[in-house]
Amino acid sequence: MEDITEILKRVNAVITNGHFVFASGRHSDTYVNKNALYVHTEETSKVCQLFAEKNKDLDIEVVVGPALGGIILSQWTAWHLSKIKGKEILSVHTEKDSNEDQVFKRDYDKLVKGKNVLVVEDITTTGSSVKKAADEVREAGGNVLMVCAMINRNPDKVTSEIIGAPFSYLGAFEAKDFEESECPLCEQNIPININVGHGKKYLEQKNANN
């Protein structure tokens, strides 16, 4: 079975030597563009097969992913797990509310209550989003057996202790990232990429505050 990094590089999802802004607000010269993966259904399926194989020995009943990217991963991972286990594994997702928390809507909380859950995520930089999703699963009465990320950008800091649940990942892609106030890319006036990541939104907010 292929390595996650090989798949991401094949679909040109790994971008280097730029200036990118993450959802967390941190800056980096390297970006993993998950959207470049999701347009390729076969490659996305292969990634989710990796999720399923990695977690196949757990007694999983439901797969949960935080919107938006986690919806796609949840669907494919549940499909592969269903094939492996010979029974239906459900797929649901959480969504952001007005407080930026991950919450269940559409009565999905009823589907995870009392069930064993695998939470899947695409990229973890701080682990905040997937932690919120795992917290919501527990709030709904579900049992989080594992939280699994496609890529952990910060394996030294994003751990089971930070997530508050057993945590694993398909691959690590370590690249330095910085707070805006300490960003050497900003100091060098390297233009922020507005085509991928959160650079466009960041600049709009920055301009609005000036």
Top pLDDT among 25 and 85 is at 85
Give the model's pLDDT for residue 144.
Answer: 98
Specify the pTM: 0.89
- What is the mean predicted confidence (pLDDT) over 33-47? 96
Percent of the chain's residues with pLDDT above 70: 100
Delimit the domains of the chain by residue range: 4-200
Full DSSP string of the chain? ---HHHHHHHTT-EE-SS-EE-TTS-EES-EE-HHHHHT-HHHHHHHHHHHHHHTTTS---EEEEETTHHHHHHHHHHHHHHHHHTS--EEEEEEE-TTS-EE--TTTHHHHTT-EEEEEEEEESS-HHHHHHHHHHHHTT-EEEEEEEEEES-TTTSSHHHHTS-EEEEEE----EE-GGG-HHHHTTPPPPSSSTTHHHHHHHHHHH-
Question: pLDDT tens for residues 91-113?
Answer: 999 999 998 899 999 999 999 99
At 173, is the pLDDT very low, low, confident or very high (cuts 50, 70, 90)?
confident
Tell me yes or no: is domain 4-200 CATH 3.40.50.2020: yes
The residue that leads in pLDDT, 121 or 208, is 121
What pLDDT does residue 35 have? 92
